[in-house]
Amino acid sequence: MAISTLSPPDLAVVKSTILCGPMSEDTLHSVLAGSTLNLYERNDCLFEAQEPASKLYLVLDGWVKLSREESDGSNTLIAAFTKGDSIAEAAAVLGEPYPATAQAMSNVRALVIEGTRFLENMQSSKEVLGAGLAAIYRQLHSLVDEVELLKSRTIRQRLIVFLLKTSEATSGPSSLRLPYDKSLIAAKIGTSPENLSRTFAELREFGVTVKGREAMIADIEDLRALLRR
């Protein structure tokens, strides 16, 4: 798709991404030629694990989960992506199997870019090579963060980290909307829905109240201090 056919808000998202943000208008035009704007409904698959990767995805709106199906039928959530995130860059340019399944957790709009075309652009342009590597480096970095969080933090601490990341406030009180439902938040932090409810209840005495998807934090700094205990 041509840049000119993207709506101004979508174009603004594209230009805010690690993958496309640093590119000049000409380069962006070349990278996006042949891409499509896809719409997904909740539960639609963007791609499935093991399928050879041919496309990379730039999320313009909504939430996408990356998860793995176990042989016993259970499902493990690996990561969640939203507006401005890119997905599967490395797999798509290499044509390797997708390492997990990507599924829409809400209505999703995503720009879908051909991996082979992106690779050609990486080969011919230092700008695209740098941007592609930077996006992949960010994925690596956030997976390293995730492994650290899972190994070194309790469930309560992981929930606090999740709330602090979701809130945009850095101090004082904050009201926020949970980005997806509680069963997914439980999966994200690696616990059961029952244990998540218990942990939310424990956090009440530290000023965290939740009603449906709305959460209220009495004092961000108090909550952050809990991480150090």
Out of 9, 34, 52, 130, name the contact with its own copies by CB under 8 A. 130
Q: Where are the beta strands (DSSP E) in the chain?
A: 36-40, 45-47, 55-61, 63-69, 75-82, 86-87, 101-104, 108-114, 174-177, 208-211, 214-217
Q: Which of 224, 225, 200 is nearest to 214 (CA)?
A: 200
Q: Which of 50, 85, 36 is nearest to 64 (CA)?
A: 85
Interface mask (CB under 8 A) for its own copies, residues 135-154, using x and -? -xx-xxx-xxxxxx-xxx--
Name the residue nearer to its own copies (CB basis): 72 or 168. Answer: 72
Out of 22, 179, 190, 207, name the contact with its own copies by CB under 8 A. 190
Q: How far apart are CA 126 and CA 124, in angstroms?
A: 7
- Told to check if 194 binds its own copies by CB under 8 A, we report no
Name the residue nearer to its own copies (CB basis): 27 or 139. Answer: 139
Out of 78, 161, 169, 216, name the contact with its own copies by CB under 8 A. 78
- Told to check if 184 binds its own copies by CB under 8 A, we report no
Q: How far apart are CA 168 and CA 164, in angstroms?
A: 8
> Which tokens sit at 198?
């218990």
Interface mask (CB under 8 A) for its own copies, residues 11-50, using x and -? ----------------------------------------
- What's the length of the chain? 229
Q: How far apart are CA 223 and CA 153, in angstroms?
A: 15
With left for phi above 0 and alpha for psi between -120 and 50, is residue 73 left, alpha or beta? left
Out of 74, 165, 205, 211, name the contact with its own copies by CB under 8 A. 74
Residue type (1 letter), 57? Y
Q: How far apart are CA 76 and CA 192, in angstroms?
A: 11
- Told to check if 133 binds its own copies by CB under 8 A, we report yes
How many residues touch its own copies under the rule CB under 8 A: the total is 41
- Told to check if 165 binds its own copies by CB under 8 A, we report no
Shortest Å distance, C-beta 123 to its own copies: 6
3-state secondary structure of 157: helix
Q: How far apart are CA 12 and CA 138, in angstroms?
A: 20
- Told to check if 94 binds its own copies by CB under 8 A, we report yes
Shortest Å distance, C-beta 192 to its own copies: 11
Out of 15, 54, 82, 99, name the contact with its own copies by CB under 8 A. 99
Interface with its own copies (CB under 8 A): 68, 70-72, 74, 76-79, 90-91, 93-94, 96, 99-100, 119, 122-123, 126, 129-130, 133-134, 136-137, 139-141, 143-148, 150-152, 187, 190, 228
